[in-house]
């Protein structure tokens, strides 16, 4: 099974004959579920055309640091924020030297400087260049900085030499990349996650709902699986595919989600309530479509829905309970009130008044609150935020 489902891999291609392997590597990563985008150096274009890698990845290839159109939106920064992992394959002796000395003179090195995600290199060069002391010193510097080295392999080289320096095969690299997303932080635990909106029916045609896309909850499910847990995802209506290795239970209304949550409470170690559950529902559901009667107003009597997270937090035995507070103002104040009032162990707060984050966005800014702490997580894509949230849960659990 793949750990790369929905993962964002930024593939850096530097100059070297092994650049031809990048085409197969893209396919291998995609077959394992990854979304792959490519940054090429100018030297790489001497060995592989950008059009080929664009066709394979399904995205435009990025290659110009000073592209006016891209940089108007700070393209190198947005690429760095987009990636869950940057993989440079092949990584030439030149690009390794540039990374070691903090160069930012091309798009690829600049993206690496701006990254917050993990960086891995797959060295590829002549065996004499590999053994050169300067190259080994540069690799030692990168290792000290936590940059991961994948390979190289030993064997015949394009120049006719035999020895270390061959880029690892694409299948090997793809397998090694998948292990970056296994943490083991919650190994053996059972985690129940609610996600998405609920729909409260008015009649057979209409319903009351909200703008939740479910992206945060689904990202949390993937990050929790990667942490080694058994994951049950109770989802309201979304357009998202069920994450790999996750048990998905599809619900519609708040009542449905409440019942499913209570059904899966026995044996639950951690409960993460990320769903945007409707607080109220229509008191009655019309059996037939409600027709216009010439009146200018329509009155619907509403009744309160059961509070899922409060019910879970007051169960005996109680799991570790994480709530979400999606607020439009006084975010931290309301989140801390929710933490205390509902007997939660942790609350993840975010400001949904900002249309660039939160509902329907791929990015988010959140603050994690416990009784003793407050941790601000700056803007990042939701998979990265999910990983950080799971790390915080594992630390508190």
Q: Tell me the per-residue pLDDT of 332-345, one tens digit each, with 9 for 90 and over.
A: 999 999 999 999 99
Statement: residue 154 has pLDDT above 80: yes
Tell me if 111 is assigned to a ligand binding site.
no
Give the pLDDT confidence of 203-257 residue by residue, as tens digits.
Answer: 999 999 999 999 999 999 999 998 989 999 999 999 999 987 899 999 999 999 9
Per-residue pLDDT, 73: 46
What does CATH list as the number for 8-181?
3.40.50.1950
DSSP 154-202: EEE-TTS-EEEEEPPPHHHHHHHHHGGG---TTTT-EEEEEESB--EES
Residue 233 vs residue 358, higher pLDDT: 233
Tokens (6 digits) for 274: 């990320």
- Per DSSP, the chain holds a count of helices (H) and strands (E) of 14, 19
Q: Which residues are catalytic?
A: 159
* Closest to 91 measured CA to CA, from 179, 173, 147, 19: 19
CB neighbours (10 Å) of residue 238? 17
According to the annotation, is 304 in a ligand binding site?
no
Same fold, 8-181 and 190-396: yes
CB 85 within 8 A of CB 180: yes
Q: Is 38 annotated as a binding residue?
A: no
Q: Does domain 190-396 have CATH number 1.25.10.10?
A: no
271 pLDDT above the threshold of 90:
yes
Question: Model confidence over 98-153: pLDDT tens digits?
Answer: 999 999 989 999 999 999 889 999 999 999 999 999 999 999 999 999 999 999 98
Give tens-digit pLDDT for 19-56. 999 999 999 999 988 899 999 999 999 999 999 999 99
Q: Is 316 annotated as a binding residue?
A: no
3-class secondary-structure state, position 335: helix
For residue 358, what pLDDT is reported?
66
Residue 71: the pLDDT is 47
| Mean pLDDT score, 254-278 | 97
181 is annotated as contributing to ligand binding: no
Residue 225 assigned as binding residue:
no
What is the pLDDT at residue 3?
A: 63
Bigger pLDDT: 280 vs 71 = 280
CA angle 26, 29, 30 (to 5 degrees): 85
- So what's the pLDDT on residue 68? 56
Closest CA relative to residue 190, chosen from 319, 290, 346, 288: 319
Answer yes or no: is 263 a known binding residue: no
Do 175 and 27 touch, CB atoms closer than 8 A? no
Residue 171 has a CB neighbour count (10 Å cut-off) of 12
Structure tokens at 180: 């970056």
**80-100 average pLDDT score:** 94
Q: Return mean pLDDT, the chain.
A: 91
Question: What was the pLDDT predicted at 351?
Answer: 86
Give the pLDDT score at 66. 60
Residue 207 host element (H or E): strand 207-208
What percent of the chain is helix, strand and coil (3-state, nearest 5)? Answer: 35, 25, 40
CB atoms within 10 A of CB 234: 27
> So what's the pLDDT on residue 75?
57
Residue 379 CA to residue 384 CA, distance in Å, equals: 10
Confirm or deny that 256 is annotated as ligand binding.
no
Give the model's pLDDT for residue 139: 97
Looking at residue 74, its pLDDT comes to 47
Report the alpha-carbon distance of residue 152 to residue 141 in Å, rounded.
17
pLDDT of residue 2: 52
| DSSP helix/strand/coil, 130 | helix
Could you tell me the two tokens for 328?
A: 């439009």
**Domain map of the chain by residue range?**
8-181, 190-396
Residue 362 has pLDDT above 90, yes or no: no
């Amino acid at each position: 099974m793949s750990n790369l489902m929905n993962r964002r891999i930024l593939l850096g291609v530097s100059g070297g004959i092994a650049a031809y392997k990048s085409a197969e590597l893209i396919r291998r990563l995609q077959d394992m579920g990854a979304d792959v985008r490519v940054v090429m150096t100018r030297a790489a274009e001497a060995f592989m055309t950008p059009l080929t890698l664009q066709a394979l990845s399904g995205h435009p290839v990025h290659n110009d640091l000073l592209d006016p159109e891209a940089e108007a939106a700070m393209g190198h920064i947005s690429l760095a924020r987009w990636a869950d992992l940057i993989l440079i394959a092949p990584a030439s002796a030149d690009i390794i030297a540039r990374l070691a000395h903090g160069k930012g003179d091309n798009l690829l090195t600049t993206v690496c400087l701006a990254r917050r995600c993990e960086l891995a290199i797959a060295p590829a060069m002549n065996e004499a260049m590999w053994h050169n002391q300067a190259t080994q010193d540069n690799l030692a510097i990168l290792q000290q900085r936590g940059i991961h080295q994948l390979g190289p392999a030993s064997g015949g080289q394009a120049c006719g030499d035999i020895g270390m320096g061959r880029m690892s095969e694409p299948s090997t690299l793809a397998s090694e990349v998948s292990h970056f997303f296994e943490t083991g932080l919650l190994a053996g635990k059972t985690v129940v996650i609610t996600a998405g909106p609920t729909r409260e029916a008015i009649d057979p045609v209409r319903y009351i709902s909200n703008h939740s896309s479910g992206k945060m909850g689904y990202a949390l499910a993937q990050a929790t699986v990667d942490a080694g847990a058994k994951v049950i995802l109770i989802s309201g209506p979304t357009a998202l595919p069920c994450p790999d290795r996750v048990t998905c239970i599809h619900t519609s209304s708040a009542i449905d989600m409440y019942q499913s949550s209570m059904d899966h409470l026995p044996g639950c170690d951690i409960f993460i309530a990320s769903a945007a559950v409707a607080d109220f529902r229509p008191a009655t559901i019309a059996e037939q479509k409600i027709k216009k009667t010439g009146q200018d107003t329509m009155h619907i009597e509403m009744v309160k829905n059961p509070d899922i997270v409060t019910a879970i937090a007051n169960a005996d035995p109680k799991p570790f309970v994480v709530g979400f507070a999606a607020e439009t103002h006084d975010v931290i104040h309301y989140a801390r009130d929710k933490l205390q009032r509902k007997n939660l162990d942790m609350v993840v707060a975010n400001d949904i008044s900002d249309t660039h984050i939160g509902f329907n966005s791929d990015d988010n800014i959140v603050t994690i609150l416990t009784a003793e702490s407050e941790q601000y997580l700056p803007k990042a894509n939701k998979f990265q935020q999910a990983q950080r949230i799971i790390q915080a849960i594992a630390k508190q659990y």
